[in-house]
Amino acid sequence: MNKSHTLSQGQLLTLESVYGIYCDAWVDDEEMLVFASFWGRDTAIQELLARLTLSSQEEGLNQLYLTGITPKTLRIGNPERLDKLTGRMPKANLFGDIVHLWLFDKTVKEPDYVNRKAYLLVQALHADFARDVWGVFKSVSHLPLLDSWQKVMTDLATAQGWLKIHQGFALHALSIELPEQALDECMSRLIQAGELSLHC
């Protein structure tokens, strides 16, 4: 993941659930958190991480409410699906003990090879986004794929809804989920129709 990203209109969103935490980037998949970037004092960040592991009866958090220029609700679901990275600003800064937290679905960092799923974070969407995702696409496929098949396979995956674009705040994500049987059937038809050549 690239640490640099451009803030939307220079705005930070405020996390309502924990005082003193701000968000400068997020992306979701049907409101389920895929990636979010938070800033706050160490005590506030630790409170957030602790409450993500608690039940609602224990004042735990299963949704994060962000307010600001683009208000947003991010659902957590099973907190065990999430991973985190943290860093600290240098001590000699104007704001004190500030921690940077990245909270993200584990498949952002490492594809789920068993279920053939992955997310790829991108800063900008463009017409040839399939080129960015092809390496990950090949890695999660249970069948070997030739590079000459890239356009046919990514067009197929997009049409079938296996490859999707998720627009977020300050960054976006591409998701891949390849169903084993359906992929087998589609590839067999494409090979028989001559749209996929077995020769390099």
pLDDT at 110 over 60: yes
pLDDT digits (tens, 9 = 90+) for 157-173: 999 999 999 999 999 99
In terms of C-beta density within 10 A (0-12 exposed, 13-18 middle, 19 or more buried), how is residue 59 classed?
exposed
CA–CA gap between residue 38 and residue 61 (Å, rounded)? 15
Identify which of 118, 102, 101, 99 has the alpha carbon closest to the alpha carbon of residue 110: 118
Residue 194's CB is within 10 A of a number of other CB atoms, namely 7
15 in Cβ contact with 35 (< 8 Å): no
Q: What pLDDT is attached to residue 4?
A: 39
Residues 6+ apart with CB under 8 A from 99: 39, 40, 41, 42, 45, 86, 87, 88, 89
Q: What pLDDT is attached to residue 7?
A: 41
pLDDT digits (tens, 9 = 90+) for 15-70: 998 999 999 999 999 999 999 999 999 999 999 999 998 877 787 889 999 998 88
Q: What distance, in Å, lies between the first and last C-alpha atoms of the chain?
A: 32
